[in-house]
Amino acid sequence: MKKNHQDLFTEIDELSIEQKIGMTLMVGISGHFPDKTIYKRMENQHIASYILFQKNTPDIETTISLTNELQNMADKLGLPPLLIAIDQEHGRVSRIKKGITRLPASYGLGRLNNPQYVYNASYIAGRELRALGININFAPVADINTNPKNPIIGTRSFGENPVRVSEMVRQSVKGYKDAGVICSAKHFPGHGDVAIDSHIDLPVSEKSLEELQKVELLPFKASISESVPMIMTAHISYPKIDSNYPATLSPLILTELLRNDMGYDGVIISDDLEMKALRHCGEITDLAIKMINAGCDMLIISENLTQDVSVDEIYKALLKAVQDQIISTDHLDQSIKRILSLRKNLLKQNNYPLNIIRKSESVQASYQMMREVFLENPDSEHFPVSCDPDRLCIISDVEELVSICPDINTRRLLLKENQSKEKILSILETSDEIFIFLLRLSYLEIFENIYWQANQNIRFFSLNNPYIQSKIKLKLASYINLYAECLPMKAFDDLLFKL
């Protein structure tokens, strides 16, 4: 007789070592459908957690088809419902870009200092993800944007104020939980005060534990007070806390600090093992064993960045480590109990119908938040509120940005392939205030050879594409690296310049 989902894998004693190891891994998918590799991993390695990226989610139709196929495959193999995760922070890091409710990035909401808005945004995002078959969102970002040279956090953070960020993180966790989505505060113990991207190399923070307690750890404590179900680690070295290992590999940081001192008993999940921050720390199979022993319950292997990290090799290494008692059975079982608890709580939640996506009330709520971020925030000096509308122009290659705040009576131009340069010039020549919101690098060439008049006030916003920052060669009245629909950071003021 086939078991019900509630009965599957609920008794830890019924699980084999192979099944337990499979539960500790979360892996990526190559395309728009689960291929033979995924089937073999489910069948032979019992891997029941998957992470989606933009390559998997070009639109909502493809996304729902993929998640349905994954769950159907698991059901046929007698596995419990899968954990399917995504990084949908909104703003710079948004894997699903089409068909969902577009929400402000965290930094914009943080500038508004309205906790209810953060709750609302997380609740809307959570319900839409559940409707798409996604039950884990790696959000909110609990990092504090304390270093203006930080290349990876920036506007993904709620801001620079630890107390304000803590309240925003708490409300975000509450919103996701009420929507029935497992959320994950990240990146513990804090990624905001480094100057290196951990995708590229290992960042080092010289902060002491006492300094972290006063700033970086506050949002994580807030998330724990709201019973955050998952916390993601940071691939960052804190030599004043652990001189041997970065956070993801450190028992001092994950077990002594997070588990024992801060009292966290939810699931600890690693950041992606493919990130280059780990490349000088040792063989990745050895590192995976150390991560589990350090306190990680689950490991992410995205096969999305370099595909140099082998899921199969890590699975074999972990299995042998348990068999050889390098990873104790008791230690592994503690992780499995947390993962099983996560799954049981997930089964209590209801899925949502697809028609909940972009419901009119959600779109209206997002519009109100967006409008305040752009127009009504008292800190804003970067969007016009009193400019002559006849002399104002908004240009973008993103339709939603061209049509933002429709009650502003101004000219708008949506950039398209084979756009007439003459048309662009005719609009620019008669505009005093020009706002350019650009997502695609391919449109840069249009603007690089334009002669800008001395009296023109031009503001350039790069959207969700950090590479534009290094490519742009325009002489603008001001340059703002925005990354998302939110106000620029005060920390970026040194990037502003005059003609």
Going from N- to C-terminal start, the domains of the chain cover 12-356, 382-495
pLDDT score at 422:
79
**pTM, entire model:** 0.80
pLDDT score at 474:
39
Q: Does residue 104 have a cis peptide bond before it, meaning omega lies within 30 degrees of 0?
A: no
pLDDT score at 313:
93
302-307-310 Cα angle (round to 5): 80
pLDDT score at 250:
96
Given the residues 193, 271, 297, 397, select the one marked as catalytic: 271
Question: Distance between CA atoms of 430 and 82, rounded to whole angstroms?
Answer: 56
87 labelled catalytic: no
| Residue ranges in the chain whose pLDDT is less than 50 | 1-3, 6, 378-382, 384-385, 464-499
Residue 306 burial (CB count, 10 A): 13
Question: Distance between CA atoms of 463 and 426, rounded to whole angstroms?
Answer: 25
Taken in order 234, 303, 132, 406, is the CA torsion positive or negative?
Answer: positive
Question: Distance between CA atoms of 297 and 37, rounded to whole angstroms?
Answer: 24
The second-level CATH assignment, the architecture, of 382-495 is: 3-Layer(aba) Sandwich (3.40)
pLDDT digits (tens, 9 = 90+) for 351-374: 788 999 999 999 889 878 877 776
Contact indicator for 123, 175 with CB cutoff of 8 Å = yes
The second-level CATH assignment, the architecture, of 12-356 is: Alpha-Beta Barrel (3.20)
pLDDT score at 496:
28
Question: Distance between CA atoms of 327 and 156, rounded to whole angstroms?
Answer: 35
pLDDT score at 389:
62
pLDDT score at 196:
62
